[in-house]
Amino acid sequence: MSDAGPVLRTEGLRKSFGGFVAVDGVDFELAPGELRGLIGPNGAGKTTFFNMLSGMLDPSQGTIWFKGEDITDMPPHRITRQGMSLAFQITSVFPDMTVMENVLGALNGQKAALNPLGSYAGDVEGKRRAMEILTRVGLEDNADATVENLSHGDQKVLEIALALAGDPDLLLLDEPTAGLSASETRQVTGLLEELHGEITIMLIEHDMDVVMRLADTLTVLHNGQVIAEGTPDEIRENEQVKEVYFGRGH
């Protein structure tokens, strides 16, 4: 894939569950370094789309390319090793362990070790890399804290840190600010602003203020189909989006 080519592309992507079509023929492209917002009403197919991209669900039809390679039938662990991380659905946070131990476990997971902590627990290089990641996300002072004692916002940031452990080219975030207070939301969005441009990011987000501020481009799903795509300003003024997503008269 050339530098100018999309980091992610789908063609005719479709997922049906029995008679229900959750994603219906989505053609999609994501440029390297872009921060893309994926929005739409509940039941629009956003999470189903993410789960197909990450290999958690097999498409009923269509093709997915990541960095120019067909990953349509690739299992999740191989897609992760190709450089795609899905945060908040990777079940990597252990609340009774320390922040450092969680990141060590995520690093070790990249090595496909049977024991996530075994080969890294006494590894100076592993700990150095873990601290580097924690510093990048602003959690270095909490390295020895037990995860269950972190604020909800810090736990969300830790989940992003775990996704970054694989040094991904593409980071998928499913509602990163859900359930956060205003100050915690600022903490997470501040981190995403810092990461913007370093890696490609796509996020599902219901907080419209957040997604309108962060995203370069927005893709709007409705009934499993893309109904609009454009800059935040273009999406704000799109009459079909106002009707089906924001509501009449918004």
The domain ranges of the chain are 8-246
Work out the average pLDDT over 86-92.
62
pLDDT per residue over 185-204, tens digit each? 999 999 999 999 899 999 99
Strands 61-66 and 8-17: antiparallel
Residue appearing with tokens 């890696």: 199
Residue 15 has a pLDDT of: 98
Work out the average pLDDT over 85-102.
80
Calpha distance 237→174 (Å, rounded): 25
CB 166 within 8 A of CB 83: yes
CATH architecture for residues 8-246 = 3-Layer(aba) Sandwich (3.40)
User: In the predicted model, is pLDDT for residue 18 greater than 80?
Assistant: yes
Helix locations, 118-231, DSSP H: 124-137, 152-164, 182-195, 208-214
Q: For residue 198, with 0-12 CB atoms within 10 Å meaning exposed, 13-18 middle and 19 or more buried, which class applies?
A: exposed
Helix axes 124-137, 99-109, angle to 10 degrees: 110
Say what the pTM is.
0.89
pLDDT per residue over 57-71, tens digit each? 999 999 999 999 999
User: In the predicted model, is pLDDT for residue 156 greater than 80?
Assistant: yes
CA-atom Rg of the chain in angstroms? 18
Calpha distance 158→93 (Å, rounded): 8
